[in-house]
Amino acid sequence: MLTLSKKMLVLALGVCAATSSAKAATPAADQPRTVEQVVDRVISNEQQLYGKMRNYSPLVETYIQNLKPDKDLGQVPAGDKYFLGRANFTKGVNLVPLNDTQSKGKKVFGSVGNFFSFAMQFLPDGFLQMIFIDTNGFDKSHYKFDYVRREFLGEVRCLVFDVTPSEKNNKGRFLGRIWVEDQDYHIVRFNGSYNGNGHSSWYFHFDSWRTNVQQGMWMPTFVYSEEKDLHYAISKKLDFKAQTRL
């Protein structure tokens, strides 16, 4: 039995399809009318995006500001880092620094998701990974999708879903919330983290945004990441804020 929120969503989707059929090129019969159909369209669009991104090598810059506590001012800057490189999506999610002349597109900073080495150094391709939800299994067999509400992001009307890994062994899977525009059902924002922190690698909380660059195409453009009181090596703690722009 559909919940009240799902019934309202089905009704709203039916109204949108009926009123926009005269304006849109896509026939109303092809528009999703249920929550399940919307989720199917979202998954399909996301998988198509992963394929499209292999044709691009965007310039990527990441700025990281470390923070430390101050008894008078609260959190204050404690140094920063800046990385500039070019993305390579032909074999996964890799970042090649612009000053590297010998790698020729090979992976430079280690495996995706391992954001720190044992020396606690930031790995820039980990921040680049945050432009994607999950390139290896973003579907209904690996995730549960729960409709939350309708919401505007600026002038963009969106459907909001909570996304939860469905498997017990869900290391590296996304856990958080997605915003889906209600015309073609592309993901325009997702906020959360990846599961599976360990003793030598950490996943950070992040907020990833996309931009409508042309009709029917929403491309990754900006990621904000922040972590407070991240404990490691028993007695050490990390606080930082970061921005990644494509």
| Contact assessment for residue 113 and residue 203, using Cβ atoms and an 8 Å cutoff | yes
Provide the residue-wise pLDDT of the chain in tens; the chain has 246 residues.
444 444 444 444 444 444 443 444 455 667 888 999 999 999 999 999 999 999 999 999 999 888 777 777 767 777 788 889 999 998 888 888 886 544 444 333 333 333 433 334 566 677 888 999 999 889 999 999 999 999 999 999 999 999 999 877 777 899 999 999 999 999 999 999 888 655 445 567 899 999 999 988 999 999 998 877 554 444 456 677 889 999
Question: What's the confidence (pLDDT) of residue 41?
Answer: 96
Question: What's the confidence (pLDDT) of residue 92?
Answer: 85
